[in-house]
Amino acid sequence: MNQKNFQAIYVLWLRQMKRFLRAKSRVLTTIVQPLFFLFILGFGFNIAVFPGMQGSYINFLAPGIIAMAILFSSMFTGVSVLWDKQSGFLQEVLVAPVSRLSIVIGRTLGGATIALFQGFIIMIIAIALGVPITSTGGLLLTLVIMVLLSFTAVGFGLIIASKMHDFEGFQSIMSLILMPLLFLSSMFYPVTESLPGWLQMLSYCNPLFYMIDGIRGSLTGVNNILDPLVDLGIILTLCIIIMGLGTYFFNKSEA
Amino acid sequence: MDIITTENLTKTFDGFTAVDHISFSVKKGEVFGFLGPNGAGKTTTIKMLTTLLYPTQGSATIAGFDILKQRADVRENIGVVFQEPALDTELTGRENLDFHARMYGLSQEVRKKRVFKLLTLVDLLDKKDVLVKHYSGGMKRRLEIARGLMHSPTVLFLDEPTLGLDAQTRRAIWEYIKQLNKDENTTIFLTTHYMDEADFLCDRIGIIDHGKIMVMNTVDMLKKSIGNDVITLSCSDIQKLQKRLEQESWISKITPYASFLTLGVERGEEKIPAIFDIARTVNVTISSVDVRRPTLDDVFIYYTGRSMREQDHEAPHNGTKKPARFRLRWQK
């Protein structure tokens, strides 16, 4: 990594910031959409009593909404490589004398910054709504998991983008892969109490489960199934694998 | 000194050979052009030379660096203007240039200087803070050319630099290309399917068709190679007349193309009576004759056996299907 590669990472990051801030509608949607979930679902289910759930429903829901906001935003960044491919801009990036790794890092950092910005807003609103924080250490751990979640999702987006040539496939991926992952992630309800055994097994195979369980455990300290540090270990391993694969596929794709 | 050399460069896509064992070299400071119809393998060649595609076979060097083993050094030395626009339309013109400059590691001082100089060169200084999505096609093209030059590359690759632009903008872009070749001594490798563009810009051209270089020389030499004058005629029986004319030693080249026969000769206007006499002896009626200096189109027909304009109806200056050169100037 020489100075030129750092400059490339910086300018790729800067480009994403500029683009994000200029796309007013995107800024708005990505913040407002999770808030709909948080408010409407949160208040709607607040009177329901789930067996084994501690505290109010909104406390249970908030960590999942934070994770969802970060997930969608980061995946979008990864997949938006496809936009660059179609608009031809990717070629401009690829002929530059910088390493492929720094291109991936620049993009990931850009996407992660935006995603975390959105995640923070949701988190602050959730805290304002009365979602409790266990401890400073817990909050820090939450931040670490948020960052890892974001990196993983960008990497996942990169893999999808390198395998697709248009946006048709993107819709199917969103509904066929992402929706079941969300529903099985323990985001909306505690999976241990309600789901039949085989669906619970699927839940444990779901990467998103560990992300949400981790945020829930570290931020609110209740309703989590695993120790947040165990979640962290799993998430870290996953993040490294997915980022590695994302970089590999991005390297291999020809413009 | 050779800036670009290729040896048996080949690219196949799923059994289809887009570029077929091409070897050529381009000297420093030269404007070299690949002339050929769409799908001839021009863009694929550029993509291999600019490290965006891996060759299936063969090798090439740019400024002495191997395109396979020294990819970073190659990228350092090249600027590319792609066939499809490759700008970030959500950024301003200045930001696009600045992005590029930073990717190439230019210092802030150099960046500012180059941005100013190049925006002036392509007449976009007053539009520098406008988002590129509000630019016209010609402005985008000019911005891309400016961007390709930001880091003072040794070689600038231009893939169909004036594709889809109006006649006036094309002229202007030609002037920029000529000027920067002179001012910055940039070696230029361009591809085009416009005869007039190749004729105007290139010192040397290679005619490429079906992934192969058919012939390569200076524009003048190529034209001379098919004779000083070209006679194009249409008649009642092309094959019969061609067979008969082939016995005449004063005709250097005979090429049938569609319903026309093209002959390469010296002092064309004096040969017309002789051709009529010959036609009469074999009972062929000539319906039209045209004599002129050879054009690159004639060169193309001669070496490929077909006209490039068959595939090229979108040329902005030439809306009619029938090429202007086939106007019947002399009717019997």
Chain A with chain B: Cβ pairs closer than 8 A: 77
Sheet (strand B65-66) strand order:
B16-27, B2-13, B57-62, B65-66
Q: How far is CA B259 from CA A86, B246, B283, in A?
A: 42, 17, 17
A31 pLDDT more than 70? yes
Return d(Cα B230, Cα B263) in angstroms, integer.
6
Query: Under 8 Å CB-to-CB from B172, ≥6 apart: which residues?
Result: B123, B138, B142
Q: What's the mean per-residue pLDDT of chain A? A: 87
Q: How far is CA B9 from CA A200, B19, B21, B47, B56, in A?
A: 56, 7, 5, 12, 8
CA angle B262, B264, B268 (to 5 degrees): 100
Q: Do A8 and B80 touch (CB under 8 A)?
A: no
CA angle A214, A219, A224 (to 5 degrees): 45
Phi/psi of residue B17, each to 5°?
-90, 105
| Predicted pLDDT at B116 | 92
H or E element at residue B12: strand B2-13
Percent with pLDDT over 90 in chain B: 41
Distance of residue A162 Cα from the nearest chain B Cα, in angstroms: 15
DSSP symbol at B227: -
Number of neighbouring beta carbons within 10 Å of residue B331: 7
| Predicted pLDDT at B317 | 42
Residue with tokens 């050094």: B73
Q: Do B82 and A92 touch (CB under 8 A)?
A: yes
Q: What is the ipTM of this complex?
A: 0.83
Cβ contacts (< 8 Å) between A23 and chain B: which residues? 90
Q: How many residues does chain B have?
A: 332
Partners of B188 in the beta sheet?
Answer: B31, B156
| Predicted pLDDT at A162 | 82
Cβ contacts (< 8 Å) between B98 and chain A: which residues? 11
Nearest to B87, CA basis, from B137, B156, B151, B159: B137
User: In the numeric block, which tokens belong to residue B238?
Assistant: 């092309």
**Among A89, A96, A99, whose Cβ lies nearest the Cβ of B88?**
A89
Q: Do A88 and B76 touch (CB under 8 A)?
A: no
Distance of residue B200 Cα from the nearest chain A Cα, in angstroms: 28
Selected for mutation to probe chain B from A25, A89, A101 (highest B CB count within 10 Å) is: A89
| Predicted pLDDT at B320 | 35
Give residue B74's pLDDT band: very low, low, confident or very high (50, 70, 90): very high
Query: Under 8 Å CB-to-CB from B259, ≥6 apart: which residues?
Result: B234, B238
Q: What would the mean pLDDT of B312-327 be, rounded to a whole number? A: 39
B312 pLDDT more than 50? no
For the stretch B241-297, pLDDT in tens is: 888 888 888 888 888 887 888 888 888 888 888 888 888 888 888 888 988 888 888
Q: Do A4 and B105 touch (CB under 8 A)?
A: yes
The answer to whether B34 touches B63, Cβ cutoff 8 Å, is no
For the stretch B174-188, pLDDT in tens is: 988 888 888 888 999
**N- to C-terminal Cα separation, chain B:** 54
For the stretch A40-52, pLDDT in tens is: 888 888 777 777 7
Q: Which residue ranges form the domains of chain B, and what is each CATH number?
A: 2-221 (3.40.50.300), 226-331 (3.30.70.980)
Q: Distance between alpha carbon B157 and the CA centroid of its chain, in Å?
A: 12
The answer to whether B236 touches B260, Cβ cutoff 8 Å, is no
CA angle B132, B138, B140 (to 5 degrees): 25
Return d(Cα B158, Cα B311) in angstroms, integer.
21
A153 pLDDT more than 70? yes
| Predicted pLDDT at A255 | 55
Cβ contacts (< 8 Å) between B87 and chain A: which residues? 87-89, 92
Give residue B314's pLDDT band: very low, low, confident or very high (50, 70, 90): very low
The answer to whether A69 touches A118, Cβ cutoff 8 Å, is yes
Phi/psi of residue B292, each to 5°?
-160, 175
DSSP symbol at B293: -
A180 pLDDT more than 80? yes
DSSP symbol at B310: G
For the stretch A85-123, pLDDT in tens is: 888 899 899 899 988 889 999 999 999 999 999 899 899
Q: At what angle do helices A228-252 and A207-215 cross, to 10 degrees?
A: 130
B329 pLDDT more than 50? no
Q: What's the mean per-residue pLDDT of chain B? A: 85
**N- to C-terminal Cα separation, chain A:** 23
Identify the residue with better confidence: B295 or B58: B58
Least reliable range by pLDDT among A203-207, B92-96, B305-309 = B305-309
